Amino acid sequence: MSSKGAAQTPLACPSAQPDMAGADVLGVMERSEDGKLRLSYVTAPVPVTPELLEKTGPVPPTEVLRFSAPCVESKCQHFDGSKCQLAARVVAGLGIDVSHAPPCKLRKTCRWHAQEGVEACLRCPQVTTHISVDDPHLKAVAGVG
């Protein structure tokens, strides 16, 4: 007689697109006192709906919000079959942004945290979905240029 183990919760992507299945708002991008954009994390799940996306007005939602969604692994350009290369590039290419891991509802299931540990958390607040400046370094970290 075989027993089935508890179903494992799928890992979540902390840099998802709003149109991905199961997408939630991870946080709101806010300008800090030093002029940098940083993520202000939500404390409870906020499902993505058309009405929510409309609230960003003329600004694309990816400029003001960060989203999470179940990791789609091999369906994602950043997944190499075993690891998220975006998480690896974020840890290797961005400096530490905060002195301690910010409060994050996603950490227990976050692919970046599972793969890179707290080093990803210390860089996560500065990650934006939409790169609004022509910065070759940021584009290289994002894997878009």
DSSP line for 47-88: B--HHHHHTTTTS-HHHHEEEEEE--GGGSTTB-SSSBHHHH
Average pLDDT over residues 13-29: 96
Q: Is 56 among the domain residues?
A: yes
Residue 7, in any domain of the structure: no
Considering its fold, how many domains does the chain have in total? 1
Domain range for 97: 12-142
| Residue 34 pLDDT | 84
pLDDT at 121 over 90: yes
Within a domain: 6 = no
pLDDT digits (tens, 9 = 90+) for 69-82: 999 999 999 999 99
